[in-house]
Every structure is written in C-alpha cells, then in structure tokens.
Amino acid sequence: MPRLLVCGVINWDTALFVQTLPAPGEEVRVVRISSFPGGKGANTAVAAARMLGPAQVGMVGMLGSDSVAEQQIRVLEQEGVDTSYISRQQGADSGTAFVIIDSKGEDMILTHMAANLMMTRELVSSSGISSAIEEAGAIVVIDPPLEVAAALLARARKAAKLTVWSPGLLAKMGLAALRESMKNVDYLVLNEHEASQLTLVDGGAAACKRLSEALGCKVVTSLGSKGCVFCWDEREAAVPTMDLASYSLKTVSSAGAGDAFLGTFAAMKVKGMDDIEALFTANIAAALKTTKEEARGVPTLDEVSRYRNDGKMRSLFSGIKVR
C-alpha cells in the first residue's frame, strides 16, 4: 500500500507560449505550442513520487474512456505512481487544460474538467480506497468536487492520518462553504490569491494569519518567488526560497510550481521532517520546477537535496525567524 495518497485532477495540458499575456479582448501571437501531461492532482503525485520513490504514492482520480486516459495511466506508472485508485468514466472525455505562458514564465490556465468532475463520495467508500487510507501515513486532497474532498478528509481524520488540503478552485466558494471540511485538516495550503479569496484580506501573510486563527489548523500560504508564510498556534514564520539567479538559473514557466511545492512538502512530512524544513525543501523543489517548461518538470530528491545542503541555502535556512 502507498505511504501517501493524493486525490485531485488529472489533465492533459496544451501550453501556448506568448511574449505577453493577453488583456481582455486583446489578440496576441502564439510563439510556440507544447503538449504534456498535467493536472494539479497528478502533478502533485508525481512530485511526491520523485521524493519518496516507486510505489510509495497512490493517485485517486477520475479519467474518461478515451486514448488520453490510457496515456495518462502509462505516464503515471512510469513515474512510479500507483494508479490502481484511478477510476474510469465510460463515455466521458478526460480532463484537458490550456496554459498560456509569457516570456517571464507567468501563466494563465483554462481548464475543462470533464471526467474529473464525475468523482463522487461513493468512490471514497470503495473498499480499495478505504483500505489505502487505513494503510497510508498521509493523504493530500487538492481539487476534486467538494463532496469528495469532504468525504476523504473525514475518513482520513477518523483513521488518524495526516491530512493536507489545497482547495484550489474551491476557494471561490468562500470560507463558509469550506469551514466544516477544514475541521478535518492538519495543513491548509493556499496560494496568495486563494487565501485572500477566503478571508477578503489583502496580502498573503495577513490572510494566512487570519485563517490560522479562525480555523485552528496550520496554514501555509505560498508567495511565489518570495517563498511562503507558515502560520500556526498564534505564531508565524516566513520561509524563503532559493534565488535562481545566484545559481545561474532562470524561470521558464511557473505552471506546476505549486504542485511541486505541495507534493514535496507532503513527501517530506511522510519522511518525518519538521514543518519548517519541509516547507523550505518544498520551496526549493518549486523554484527548480520553474526552470523547466512542462508542468511536471519537478526535480528528483537528489537534485533538491544537493541545493538544500549547499552552504548558501543552509545559511538562508538558519536565518528563518519564528514570531
């Protein structure tokens, strides 16, 4: 049985590379098109598998009955992800996404969820997934339908498993709609925009603090190239990330960086790492991912460890202050 379960969206991505992102009503020229596997759930599972090794991560999700589904399964298995918890919806298309990426690596994402939205709470109660939750050390829930996320988190909490929830698009539903499920969460992980959506507070640090105080759980708000802020028990810490330029590296695409962060963080917690070092390690993985085009261009454990153990990075880590 996998040590870590990940539930979320599985998409096939088409990346459109442009010089600048379009404004409303503006037409821009596409410089280049690329296609590769993606989806927040699958990207996170792959990132975790590269940290934990083959057969240590299981993917819970839904694909259609098309050729894309077959390709997705094949790619995930090549990455060492256990796909036996992925269901197939007959007559449905698998999920797809279109990612617009500018010359600075910033992106816009348009997603057609398709089969991803056909997951139901009955899927959670199936014997295979119930057994997997019982045997796993942790579960990461990302962006399935809310009823599925709620059922998974409740079952995992009942089984006393470590739970990580990154609600993604569900943040648009507002805090009132998500609060009940958040009672079953150990770590709530959001980007700055999602945290502000839930709190109506500007600024990632302020929104993180507000959520932690309101929910009583540990909250992580990612801040892109500024790293992340971590709030818990009326305390907070700003966790920095690596400066790519100081290693002669540069950002190519930020698509999938949040997934690399989430998968690495969860994997480090399964390995028994403390919170702040797990977040610091996850920041490194996310930064290194941005140097690659594809959404699953996440580094290996050896690559992350090499930078984490570098003198400059250890000095940066030792400077983290808890307030």
Q: In this predicted model, what pLDDT tens digit does every residue of 106-150 receive, in sequence order? A: 889 899 999 999 999 988 888 799 999 999 999 999 989 999 999
* pLDDT on residue 292: 93
Question: What's the confidence (pLDDT) of residue 123?
Answer: 84
Exposed, middle or buried by CB within 10 Å (0-12, 13-18, 19+), for 187? buried
Give yes or no for residue 218 having a pLDDT over 90: yes
Mean pLDDT, residues 163-187 taken together: 94
The Cβ of residue 179 has, within 10 Å, a number of other Cβ atoms equal to: 12
220 occurs within a structural domain: yes
Q: Which domain holds residue 255?
A: 4-9+42-61+136-318
pLDDT of amino acid 46: 98
Asked, for residue 289, whether it belongs to a domain, the answer is yes
Task: Look over the chain and give the mean of its residue pLDDT values, rounded to a whole number.
Answer: 95
80 is a domain residue:
no
Look up the CATH number of the domain holding residue 218.
Answer: 3.40.1190.20
Q: Is the pLDDT of residue 312 over 90?
A: yes
pLDDT band of 86, cuts 50, 70, 90:
very high
Would the pLDDT of 217 be above 90?
yes
Provide the pLDDT confidence category of residue 285 given band limits of 50, 70 and 90: very high
- Which pTM was predicted? 0.94
Percent of the chain with pLDDT over 70: 100
Q: How confident is the model at residue 48 (pLDDT cuts 50, 70, 90)?
A: very high
Least confident of 53-57, 128-132, 184-188: 128-132
Q: Name the DSSP class of 225.
A: G
Q: Number of folded domains in the chain?
A: 1
- Exposure string for 23-61, b = 16+ CB within 10 A, e = fewer: eeeeeeeeeeeeebbbbbbbbbbbbbbbbbeeebbbbbb
Within a domain: 154: yes
Answer yes or no: is 46 within a domain: yes
**Residue 205: band (very low, low, confident or very high) from pLDDT cuts 50, 70, 90:** very high
Q: With respect to residue 102, please indicate whether it lies within any of the assigned structural domains.
A: no
The answer to whether residue 145 is domain-embedded is: yes
Contacts 24+ apart (CB under 8 A), 27-33: none
